[in-house]
Amino acid sequence: MSALWIAVAVWLAAWALNVWLAGRAASRSRLGKMLVPIIFGATVLVLWEGLVRGLNVAPVILPPPSAIAAKIATSLPVLWQDFAQTILKGAIPGFLIGAGAAFVVAIAIDRSPFLQKGLLPVGNFVAALPIVGLAPILVMWFGFDWQSKAAVVVVMVFFPILVNMVAGLQASERMQRDLMATWGASYWQTLVKLRLPAAMPFIFNGLKIASTLALIGAIVAEFFGSPVYGMGFRISTEVGRLGLDMVWAEIAVAALAGSALYGLVSLIERWVTFWHPSQRH
Amino acid sequence: MKRALPVLTVLAGLVVLWYLAAVWMNSTWVYDQAERSGTEVPFGEMVAQTMNQDRPLLPPPHQVGAELWKGLFGQAVTSKRSLVYHGLVTLKGTMMGFGLGIAFGVLLAMAIVRFRVMDMSVMPWAIISQTVPIVALAPMIITVASQVGIEGRDLPKAIIAAYLSFFPVLVSMVKGLRSPDQMQLDLLRTYGAGEGATFLKLRLPASMPYFFASLKVAIAASLVGTIVGELPTGAIEGLGARMLIGSQFGEPLIMWASLFAAAILAGLLIVAVGFVERAARKRMGVPA
């Protein structure tokens, strides 16, 4: 039981520290903004470890973080192989193809307000549908390897990006477009110099939503058939064997990959849309 | 009519594309069959044959429609073959997850708005939680729940659905509860209102538009979560399970019919949330 009490004591002390930190002016600095959530996250791990050890929770229900860390350390090659299969071959190509297709379609229908008016509600509706349900069908079409995973990702990311892109292309103001017209700018010049930059905040909004959908799609598709590696495959087989430490190891990899992808998109967003109010602190 | 026409045109275009794709994808099978029996199929014959195969690669719309009709109205709603039955199972999971997600999201938002330390320590993790693909957790939540001794799949499904649906509610409620400006807050202070009264009479009503906007996202996310919860580990009830069964037994018609049933369910849920929103706005005296 002592492990439990130590963990609870650490938790309370860290929480008190956080309360103290949050109340100080220093917490508004960049360092303070990073420090407080990191302390919180670390204490969650300590509390988890203490709970599992103190209450003797069976490892088939919840393994302690130390066991998960040990598992990650010993099975790096397997984790890397799964990561390469699911993320590098499934999610990222699918994400790029889907985003590219949405970009092209949005520009293709840009000249027809009629099509836009029709496509926006349909796209909005489809974006809300449980598209993951297409996964078994696409696995049937494209086989078990990464092509089918990429295909699921393409379908999943296409509509959120398309809807945001179409909305973004309408974001420039009348006055700005009139100004371009007075300068004698052609359609393409207006598009490249005014409307695409104005659409960027919307596009990145769609890309951010899509970045998490991409991982979901790639992993779900593996539940319906995959080669004998890949994150979704590993998770479903290890759950069947009650190897929960391996499952958690994969989840940790998935969380890191998801956060990294999201972070990368945010970074590019900051670089591209530096002029937007939300980026100027 | 002016608004419906473009939508209908796009829909009609999609149906035409679908038919073309069906002919193209199913033709391989027709040509294979013909080659095996040593006959030639003219183009018109080939098109006709792609329209009503038993296990088409891509079923044309009318076949899906017929299967959907059969599933929805072909038998008693208590039958295991009825899509209404499976839809209700999925609906139950969705609503449980939706309720859990709303409760969790609103409570967390209240804590975050009230306590600065909550805002600083929990909010970044709430954002990170959404970059974790929940589907990675889904099979585990289900096995662990059964080991802990929770009967049935309703609760694990609801947890997965809640995990996906709490986030939009949380983000919107934080924004909404912070939306009253300093003037309004000062006015309440001059009235001598305490923190509870400020919350009930100013912050909560001010957050309602944000709340309802988030509900539409949350209900769709909740449905996705429920279906994902039904997919991975051998569920037998629910629309997700029907898709899995269709996939395992090589019955594309079942897959497509349950996919469209899920789409119809999603549409109904979004419309229902819209109704509740309109009723609430009217009740609060917002001009329509």
Q: What CATH number does the domain containing A96 carry?
A: 1.10.3720.10
CA-wise closest residue to B254 among A136, A146, A120: A136
Domains in chain A, number: 2
For A125, which of B131, B243, B267 is closest by C-beta distance? B267
* Co-location of B95 and B231 in the same domain: yes
* Co-location of A112 and A48 in the same domain: no
* Co-location of A116 and A239 in the same domain: yes
Q: Is residue A65 part of a domain?
A: no
* Co-location of B96 and B167 in the same domain: yes
Q: Is residue B153 part of a domain?
A: yes
Give mean pLDDT, residues B145-164.
79
Q: Is residue A64 part of a domain?
A: no
* Co-location of B234 and B270 in the same domain: yes
Q: Is residue B216 part of a domain?
A: yes
- According to the model, what pLDDT value does residue A214 have? 87
* Co-location of A200 and A274 in the same domain: yes
- According to the model, what pLDDT value does residue A94 have? 92
* Co-location of B209 and B268 in the same domain: yes
For B7, which of A118, A235, A239 is closest by C-beta distance? A118
Q: At B1, is the pLDDT very low, low, confident or very high (cuts 50, 70, 90)?
A: low
Q: Is residue A115 part of a domain?
A: yes
> What span, in angstroms and rounded, lies between the C-alpha atoms of B24 and A110?
29
* Co-location of A89 and A36 in the same domain: no
pLDDT digits (tens, 9 = 90+) for B48-88: 777 777 777 788 888 888 888 887 787 777 777 788 888 88
On whether any CB of chain A is under 8 Å from the CB of B256, the answer is: yes
> What span, in angstroms and rounded, lies between the C-alpha atoms of B37 and B56?
19
Query: Best-predicted range by mean pLDDT among A116-130, B127-141, B181-195?
Result: B181-195
pLDDT digits (tens, 9 = 90+) for B218-244: 888 898 888 888 876 556 778 888 887
For chain B, give the mean pLDDT: 82
- According to the model, what pLDDT value does residue A182 have? 93
Compute the nearest-CA separation of A49 from chain B (Å): 18
pLDDT digits (tens, 9 = 90+) for B29-48: 777 777 787 777 777 777 77
> What span, in angstroms and rounded, lies between the C-alpha atoms of A47 and B58?
51
* Co-location of A45 and A144 in the same domain: no
* Co-location of B109 and B9 in the same domain: no
* Co-location of B46 and B158 in the same domain: no
CB contact (8 A) between residue A223 and residue B240: no
CA-wise closest residue to B97 among B212, B226, B3, B206: B226
What the block records as the tokens of B203 is 């912050």
* Co-location of A36 and A150 in the same domain: no
Substitution target in A122, A139, A250 with the highest count of B β-carbons within 10 Å is A122
Contacting residues of A for B5, CB less than 8 Å apart: 118
- Are A206 and A148 in contact by the 8 Å Cβ rule? The answer is no
CA-wise closest residue to B243 among A136, A219, A129: A136
> What span, in angstroms and rounded, lies between the C-alpha atoms of B199 and B185?
10
* Co-location of B162 and B256 in the same domain: yes
Substitution target in A45, A92, A120, A129 with the highest count of B β-carbons within 10 Å is A129
> What span, in angstroms and rounded, lies between the C-alpha atoms of A94 and A271?
23
> What span, in angstroms and rounded, lies between the C-alpha atoms of A213 and B158?
20
What number is the ipTM of this complex?
0.75
Q: Is residue A155 part of a domain?
A: yes
Give mean pLDDT, residues B261-279.
87
CATH code, B144: 1.10.3720.10
pLDDT tens per residue, chain A (281 residues)?
A: 677 788 788 878 887 887 777 777 666 677 777 777 888 888 888 888 888 888 877 777 788 888 888 888 888 888 898 888 888 888 899 999 999 999 998 888 888 888 878 887 788 777 777 777 788 888 888 888 888 888 989 988 898 888 888 888 888 888 888 999 999 989 899 998 898 888 888 888 888 888 888 888 888 888 777 777 888 888 888 877 877 888 888 888 888 888 888 889 888 988 888 877 766 65
For A239, which of B9, B140, B217 is closest by C-beta distance? B140
Q: Is residue B72 part of a domain?
A: no
Compute the nearest-CA separation of B6 from chain A (Å): 4
Map tokens 């996705």 to a residue.
B224
> What span, in angstroms and rounded, lies between the C-alpha atoms of A153 and A175?
38
Compute the nearest-CA separation of B25 from chain A (Å): 10
> To the nearest 10°, the Cα dihedral for B6, B9, B10, B13?
-160
For A122, which of B7, B250, B252 is closest by C-beta distance? B7
On whether any CB of chain A is under 8 Å from the CB of B145, the answer is: no
* Co-location of A83 and A43 in the same domain: no
On whether any CB of chain B is under 8 Å from the CB of A239, the answer is: yes
Q: Is residue B65 part of a domain?
A: no
- Are B12 and B18 in contact by the 8 Å Cβ rule? The answer is no
* Count of CA atoms in the C-beta half-sphere (13 A) of B229: 33
* Co-location of A184 and A217 in the same domain: yes
* Co-location of B48 and B107 in the same domain: no
For B136, which of A18, A125, A250 is closest by C-beta distance? A250
- According to the model, what pLDDT value does residue B287 have? 60
Compute the nearest-CA separation of B20 from chain A (Å): 17
Domains in chain B, number: 2
* Co-location of B119 and B205 in the same domain: yes
Q: Which residues contact B1 (CB under 8 A, 6 or more apart)?
A: none
On whether any CB of chain B is under 8 Å from the CB of A189, the answer is: no
Q: Is residue B161 part of a domain?
A: yes
- According to the model, what pLDDT value does residue B103 have? 94
* Co-location of B197 and B270 in the same domain: yes
Q: Where are the beta strands (DSSP E) in B25-79?
A: none
Chain B residue with Cα closest to A39:
B121
Predicted TM-score (pTM) of the model is 0.82
> What span, in angstroms and rounded, lies between the C-alpha atoms of A166 and A121?
11
Q: Is residue A175 part of a domain?
A: yes
DSSP A147-203: HHHHHHHHHHHHHHHHHHHHHHHT-S-HHHHHHHHHTT--HHHHIIIIIHHHHHHHH
* Co-location of A199 and A123 in the same domain: yes
Chain A residue with Cα closest to B143:
A239
Does the pLDDT value for residue B132 go beyond 80?
no
On whether any CB of chain A is under 8 Å from the CB of B173, the answer is: no
What the block records as the tokens of B232 is 């991975």
Q: Is residue A185 part of a domain?
A: yes
Instruction: Look up the domain containing B32 and give its range.
Output: 4-58
Does the pLDDT value for residue B99 go beyond 90?
yes
* Co-location of A179 and A51 in the same domain: no
Q: Is residue A63 part of a domain?
A: no
> To the nearest 10°, the Cα dihedral for B165, B168, B171, B172?
-120
Contacting residues of A for B7, CB less than 8 Å apart: 117-118, 121-122
For B136, which of A61, A224, A251 is closest by C-beta distance? A251
* Co-location of A184 and A270 in the same domain: yes
- Are B230 and B90 in contact by the 8 Å Cβ rule? The answer is yes
What the block records as the tokens of B255 is 């897959």
Instruction: Look up the domain containing A37 and give its range.
Output: 2-57
Q: Is residue A225 part of a domain?
A: yes
CA-wise closest residue to B221 among B158, B162, B139, B153: B162
- According to the model, what pLDDT value does residue B36 have? 81
* Co-location of A18 and A86 in the same domain: no
